[in-house]
Amino acid sequence: MTRPLSVGIAGLGTVGGGVLRLLRDNADIVAAHAGRPISVTAVSARDRGRDRGVKLDGVRWYQDPVALATESGVDAVVELIGGSDDPAHALVFAALRAGKSVVTANKALLARHGVALAQAAERSGASLAFEASVAGGIPIIKALREGLAANRIRRVAGILNGTCNFILTSMRERGREFADVLAEAQKLGYAEADPGFDIDGVDAAHKLAILTALAFGRAVRFDDVHVEGIRQVSALDIAFARELGYRIKLLGIARRTEAGIESRVHPCMVPENSPLARVDGVYNAVVAEGDFVGRVMLEGRGAGAGPTASAVVADLIDLARGRTAPVWGAAADGLSDAPSVPMSAYVGAYYLRLMVLDRPGVIADVAGALRDSGVSLESMLQHGRAPGEAVPIVLVTHETRESQMRVAVDKIERLDSVLERPSVIRIEHG
The residue ranges of every structural domain in the chain are 5-133, 140-301, 346-427
* CATH class of the domain comprising 346-427: alpha beta
SS3 6: strand
Residue 247 has pLDDT above 50, yes or no: yes
Is-contact 44 68, C-beta < 8 A?
yes
Q: Please state, rounded to an integer, the average pLDDT across all residues of the chain.
A: 94
Q: What does the alpha-carbon distance between residue 317 and residue 311 come to, in Å, rounded to a whole number?
A: 10
Dump pLDDT digits (tens) for 203-219. Answer: 999 999 999 999 999 99
CA dihedral of residues 405, 407, 411, 414 (deg, nearest 10): 110
- pLDDT of 47 reads 77
Look at 49-58, 382-391, 402-411, 416-425 and tell me which has the smallest mean pLDDT. 49-58
Q: What does the alpha-carbon distance between residue 264 and residue 376 come to, in Å, rounded to a whole number?
A: 23
Is-contact 269 247, C-beta < 8 A?
yes
| Pairwise pLDDT comparison (56 vs 14), residue with the higher score | 14
Dump pLDDT digits (tens) for 106-153. Answer: 999 999 999 999 999 999 999 999 999 999 899 999 999 999 999 999
- pLDDT of 208 reads 98
Q: What does the alpha-carbon distance between residue 271 and residue 285 come to, in Å, rounded to a whole number?
A: 16
- Residues of the chain above pLDDT 70, percent: 99
Nearest to 391 by CA among 352, 351, 354, 350: 354
Dump pLDDT digits (tens) for 313-356. Answer: 999 999 999 999 999 999 999 999 999 999 999 999 999 999 99
Mean pLDDT of 43-72: 85
Residue 66 has pLDDT above 50, yes or no: yes
b/e code 232-254 from CB counts within 10 Å (16+ = b): ebbbebbebbeebebbbbbbbbb
- pLDDT of 280 reads 96
Mean pLDDT of 226-236: 97
Q: Is 249 marked active-site?
A: no
Q: Regarding the domain delimited by 140-301, which CATH topology (the fold level of the hierarchy) does it fall under?
A: Dihydrodipicolinate Reductase; domain 2 (3.30.360)
Global pTM value: 0.95
Is-contact 369 415, C-beta < 8 A?
yes
Look at 206-210, 303-307, 374-378 and tell me which has the smallest mean pLDDT. 303-307
Cβ-count burial of 324 within 10 angstroms (0-12 exposed, 13-18 middle, 19+ buried)?
middle
SS3 55: coil
Q: Report the CATH superfamily, name and number, of domain 5-133.
A: NAD(P)-binding Rossmann-like Domain (3.40.50.720)
- pLDDT of 1 reads 47
DSSP alpha helix (H) spans, 100-201: 107-124, 140-142, 162-174, 178-188, 196-199
pLDDT-based confidence at 17, cuts 50/70/90? Answer: very high
The answer to whether the 140-301 and 346-427 domains have the same CATH topology is no
Residue 292 has pLDDT above 90, yes or no: yes
Residue 196 has pLDDT above 90, yes or no: yes
- pLDDT of 191 reads 86
- Determine how β-strand 153-159 pairs with β-strand 226-227: unpaired
State the catalytic residue, choosing from 100, 107, 207, 411.
207
Mean pLDDT of 261-271: 98
